[in-house]
């Protein structure tokens, strides 16, 4: 894609910020949501590492090991999805610019737009799903990890929840162009569930963090 030659993950934070601030349509909100989710996953990994091999948190070893594995996979996947989102929206934008001077060209444009819109919906939907899963891990980890890093875990939770909401917004704005009512209806139902659960899970995270104490270990 013109103007988007390299992976976003290879940019410095300043370069990524500059790209977002430009007048170019990509990267945009979908990529930003994915990047926020990846940062959240990095914080989860940090908290887990700060908890492992410390005697106080030994009863929570299994929880922290699982959280670390999940977080490392999520942060890599979400960075990839940030690129995928930029490419998908770039394809949608290109389809919308196709000529429509004749009935044949207009039909070709409409078909291309529908296909590209579905791609541009599927990627942020994947981001929302991944960040919702990460948020559940954060809720499990809260009160079962290093208390000195509890605020870092809450930041991770808030970033994850924001990423779910942001990615969902990007799905919703593309659904009308998909021209598939069954797909759109099912996707909206899933998004409503994801958003409701994300808000409830974030509330649990803030409750556990605010408690300032350790919880009962998970059943192994």
What is the tens place of the pLDDT at every residue in 140-160? 999 999 999 999 999 999 999
Q: What share of the chain is helix, strand, coil (3-state, %, to 5)?
A: 80, 0, 20
- What number of CA atoms fall less than 13 Å from residue 98's CA on the CB side? 20
| pTM beyond 0.95 | no
- pLDDT tens digits for 155-180? 999 999 999 999 999 999 999 989 88
- pLDDT tens digits for 129-139? 999 999 999 99
Q: Which two tokens stand for residue 45?
A: 């990994």
- The Cα 81–Cα 138 span in angstroms is 20
- The Cα 93–Cα 34 span in angstroms is 20
- SS3 at position 100: coil
Domains of the chain by range and CATH? 26-211 (1.20.120.680)
Query: What is the model's pLDDT at position 2?
Result: 42
For residue 41, give the nearest of 66, 82, 78 by alpha carbon. 78
């Amino acid at each position: 894609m013109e103007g988007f030659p390299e992976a976003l993950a290879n940019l410095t934070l300043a370069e990524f910020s500059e790209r977002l601030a430009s007048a170019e349509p990509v990267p945009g909100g979908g990529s930003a949501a994915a990047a926020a989710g990846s940062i959240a996953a990095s914080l989860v990994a940090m908290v887990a590492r700060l908890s492992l091999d410390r005697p106080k948190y030994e009863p929570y070893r299994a929880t922290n090991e699982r959280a670390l594995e999940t977080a490392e996979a999520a942060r890599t996947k979400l960075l990839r999805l940030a690129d995928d989102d930029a490419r998908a929206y770039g394809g949608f934008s290109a389809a919308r610019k196709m000529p429509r001077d004749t009935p044949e060209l207009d039909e070709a444009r409409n078909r291309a737009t529908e296909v590209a819109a579905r791609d541009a919906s599927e990627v942020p939907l994947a981001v929302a799903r991944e960040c919702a899963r990460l948020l559940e891990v954060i809720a499990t980890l809260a009160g079962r990890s290093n208390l000195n890093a509890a605020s870092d875990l809450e930041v991770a939770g808030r970033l994850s929840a924001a990423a779910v909401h942001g990615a969902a917004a990007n799905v919703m704005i593309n659904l009308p162009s998909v021209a598939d009512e069954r797909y759109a209806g099912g996707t909206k139902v899933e998004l409503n569930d994801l958003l409701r659960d994300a808000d409830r899970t974030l509330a649990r995270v803030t409750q556990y963090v605010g408690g300032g104490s350790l919880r009962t270990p998970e059943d192994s």
